[in-house]
Structure 1
Amino acid sequence: MKVVYLGDIMGRSGRNVVLERLPEIKERLKPDFIVVNGENAAAGFGITGKIANELFENGVDVISTGNHVWDQKETKTYINTEKRMIRPINYPEGTPGKGSVIVEDNRGRKMLVVNAMGRVFMDPLDDPFKAVDQELKKYPLGSAVKFVLVDMHAEATSEKMAMGQYLDGRASLVVGTHSHIPTADAQIFDGGTAYQTDAGMCGDYDSVIGMDKVEPINRFTKKMRADRYSPALGEATLCGVYVETDDKTGHATRIDPIRLGGRLKETFPEN
């Protein structure tokens, strides 16, 4: 199976680069599924139904989120009607939406996507390791589903790596989000799980993690708020990963970073 995962979509520039580059990605890689993290897609804070629908209409199969999932009030209603958008699975019971979804391609192959959120330097939630563990026991890789993707939305690189190692052999891909900076550690663990600590954002890198740089610098240097944070609107870089797996086992046979456009050095998987 071939899967493309794109990191946090940051504001208008991030949305634009994803929509502009999706046709090229589909043509060159011919992925079976495309998953994106959309939690910053609406001006850097949350995601709206309109934005989500546009992504779905352009070939996205699943949208994961994170700690900004509730920044747009409408999401609490939308996420209950659109099962392809998920929130972290370790939110308390009774939270709107679901933390995972199974999607199926035209050949009948099923992929499980699980969204989890870390607890180090983040809002305290339920145990993400236990929550993901329980979900994967219900849908074992290689039998119930052919691909398991876990989006680990976390601040600490150690917590993301720990999740990847914990799930080695039971997930096809564990990929980190939230930091908005692509890491250089794309690899396949001994048990067959593809991993990257952070996919990076789809956004303008002439910024402070996607925000216009003036206000973040002001707060760091003066310890005072002068204005609201707003997304940088320059040319964006699309960042993500491409993974191929063995359909019999669900284990990864290949992982490659993707970076297209903007300021970062481009890299794209070669056939």
Structure 2
Amino acid sequence: GIVDTTKAGKYEVIYGYQGVESKALITVKADQTTVKVHDSELYTGGNWTGKDNFDSATDRDGKPVDFEDINATGTVDTTKAGKYEVTYSYHGIESKALITVKADQTSLNVHDSTMDQGDEWQPETNFDSATDRDGEEVAYSEVEVQGKVNTDKIGQYMVSYQYGAVTARAVITVQAKVSQAPNETPPTEAPETDLPEEECPETEIPETEESNSATEEPIQSGPETGESETAGVGKNENGPSEQSNELSATGRKPPLKESTQQLSNCRKQEK
């Protein structure tokens, strides 16, 4: 008798000697040893171990085998894009896994900005663009934002934007408005009519020609005549109430009241 070990089944073999025979039954069982793995893709910078591509294994009887009993050969460089092959074997059974390392195209772009105190700010203002690992555009709604900006307070604020493993930061500067700069107030002029007479010191008022003749030149004494200029001035000695608006003998008006003259001169200075 013969036994085909390549094919599962039962085979009978007869052993004989001098007319004496014995029969042996040989059972050929299917070898259930298996090693199952799978191909995969990952991106540069990711983590990889041999167990990541291992699925399962069984021995000849079909019983499960732990990964620790599997022999894995081959390496994967996750820092460099490319294709890597790893072989898994157990009791003469081999399986190969293809690991593809792709360049990670994840990106996140933001920008710094300056704004006026009191203006409105939204996080989306400083967001420019973002892409996923495959370079596809990502919407702002998929980006995580951390940080706040107090637009009522002058200063610098940092806001973090994150997508996947990529983080970008933007600095937002809140500055005072030009028209409201601290320690600066626009000059104002008091209305001329509201200026009190006392605010114009008597010593700073420039005197007119008529006032000098009335206050600085001594009045001469002597007989009064209707044609004497000195006599015309002398009539004002009795007080401001007796001043006349009529022309004197020289054709000039008598001096104005002192308080009225001071207020007039003060207003001229203000103008």
What TM-score does the superposition give when structure 1 sets the normalisation length?
0.17
Q: Name the structure with the higher strand share.
A: 2
What TM-score does the superposition give when structure 2 sets the normalisation length?
0.17
Greater gyration radius: 2
